Amino acid sequence: MSQLNELTTRLRNASAVTVLTGAGVSAASGIPTFRGAGGLWRNFSATELATPEAFARDPQTVWEWYAWRREQILGCDPNAAHRVLARWTQTRPGWRVVTQNVDDLHVRAGTRGLVRLHGSIFELRCWRSCRGERFVWRDERVPLPEMPPRCPDCGGLARPAVVWFGEMLDPRDLETAAALTPCDVFIAAGTSAVVYPAAGLLHEARAQGAFTAELNTEVTDATRDVDAAVQGPVEQTLAALDKLL
Ligand code: OAD
């Protein structure tokens, strides 16, 4: 049986399905991934743009990079991968999406019960956490009227409410995601599966007996560990799976 057929059969019989998504899911929408050909971390330094130390050193440069990405993302629309996953969460109780993406395309596609592990590029929070670390606000304005933007409460610097390298994930999000690892089928879709703790969810699911699958255009660190690895553009694979179900 082909890996796609085997995955289809498993999905047909599954009540709990968890899909972990990464940048590859938004690639067909025109949003660059981080690693691999044309990836953002090939042309930009993660340590100079996506760490608290970088922001403390040079908030203007960090904000300019995020403003550029916000503008790029706002011009992109959800693709077939987002649409199929959204429909699954709307029509199949127990089918859930956990994303590492900060682009909000799963939200715009109408995904129910989405877990966003790395935050949203369209949310901001106070750099000094004047109202606590969890207080975020939404600002979709492109361009932002003030650069760098300010906290409306204390007037200090605002920062993107995304998780940077060296920062902890919100423990509530991680707990919710971990609670979705005891499932029938766990799919890693369009992620290089190298950034933890997100990448660890696949291994947790496998250890708990889930059938595991990977949908990716390339071979990743996870490929040899999964039960089914379907190579190809995830938007095509998900559309094909959706038809087969
Ligand atoms: P990566 O850029 O590391 O990986 C994207 C994956 O998608 C790669 O394995 C590609 O082969 C695959 N890919 C690209 N186009 C695809 C397509 N059309 N169909 C299927 N697969 C495709 O992105 P992530 O795994 O999401 O962190 O990266 C994880 C985290 O690292 C991100 O959330 C970000 C980054 O630094 C933060 O921002 C905190």
Query: For the residues 117-127, what does the mean pLDDT come to?
Result: 98
The maximal CA–CA distance of the chain, rounded, in angstroms, is 61
Q: What is the DSSP letter of 237?
A: H
Q: Is the pLDDT of residue 161 over 90?
A: yes
**CATH at 125:** 3.30.1600.10
Cα separations (Å) of 176 from 117, 192, 208? 10, 22, 16
pTM recorded for the entire structure: 0.97
Whether residue 71 sits in one domain with residue 38: yes
Whether residue 244 sits in one domain with residue 200: yes
Whether residue 16 sits in one domain with residue 104: yes
Over residues 174-225, the pLDDT tens digits come to: 999 999 999 999 999 999 999 999 999 999 999 999 999 999 999 999 999 9
Whether residue 131 sits in one domain with residue 107: no
**CATH at 112:** 3.40.50.1220
Over residues 64-88, the pLDDT tens digits come to: 999 999 999 999 999 999 999 999 9
User: Could you give the residue ranges of the DSSP H alpha helices within the chain?
Assistant: 3-12, 24-27, 40-43, 46-49, 52-57, 59-74, 80-91, 105-109, 171-178, 200-207, 234-244
**Which of 174, 202, 166 is CA-nearest to residue 116?**
174
Whether residue 221 sits in one domain with residue 182: yes
Whether residue 84 sits in one domain with residue 204: yes
- Pairing mode of beta strands 158-162, 119-126: antiparallel
Query: For the residues 111-125, what does the mean pLDDT come to?
Result: 98
Whether residue 123 sits in one domain with residue 109: no
Q: Is the pLDDT of residue 89 over 80?
A: yes
Mutation test residue for ligand 1: of 48, 191, 237, 238, the one with most atoms within 8 Å of CB: 191
Q: Which of 162, 191, 215 is the last residue of a domain?
A: 162
Instruction: Say if CB 221 and CB 229 are below 8 A apart.
Output: no
Confidence of residue 106 (pLDDT cuts 50, 70, 90): very high
Place of tokens 């709990």: 16
Q: Is the pLDDT of residue 17 over 90?
A: yes
Q: Is the pLDDT of residue 22 over 80?
A: yes
Mutation test residue for ligand 1: of 100, 167, 221, the one with most atoms within 8 Å of CB: 100
Query: For the residues 86-95, what does the mean pLDDT come to?
Result: 98
Is position 118 annotated as part of the catalytic site? yes
- Domain boundaries, position 123: 32-75+119-162
**Paired residues of 98 in beta bridges:** 20, 115
Whether residue 18 sits in one domain with residue 123: no
- Pairing mode of beta strands 17-21, 95-99: parallel
Q: Which of 162, 194, 217 is the last residue of a domain?
A: 162
Atom of ligand 1 nearest to the CA of 192: 9
The rounded percent of the chain whose pLDDT value lies above 90 is 96
Alpha-carbon gap, residue 178 to 200, rounded angstroms: 9
The whole-number pLDDT of residue 85 equals 98
What's the total number of domains in the chain? 2
Whether residue 66 sits in one domain with residue 186: no
Query: For the residues 109-126, what does the mean pLDDT come to?
Result: 98
Burial letters 45-58, b for 16+ CB under 10 A, else e: eeeebbbeebbeee
Whether residue 239 sits in one domain with residue 195: yes
Q: Which of 162, 194, 226 is the last residue of a domain?
A: 162
| Tokens at 173, concatenated | 């999000």
Q: Is the pLDDT of residue 25 over 80?
A: yes
Under DSSP, is residue 236 helix (H, G, I), strand (E, B) or coil? helix
Ligand 1 contacts (CB < 6 A) are 22-24, 27-28, 33-36, 39, 100, 102, 118, 162-163, 190-192, 195, 216-218, 220, 233-234
Whether residue 243 sits in one domain with residue 192: yes
Whether residue 245 sits in one domain with residue 152: no
Q: What average pLDDT does the chain have?
A: 96
Confidence of residue 38 (pLDDT cuts 50, 70, 90): confident
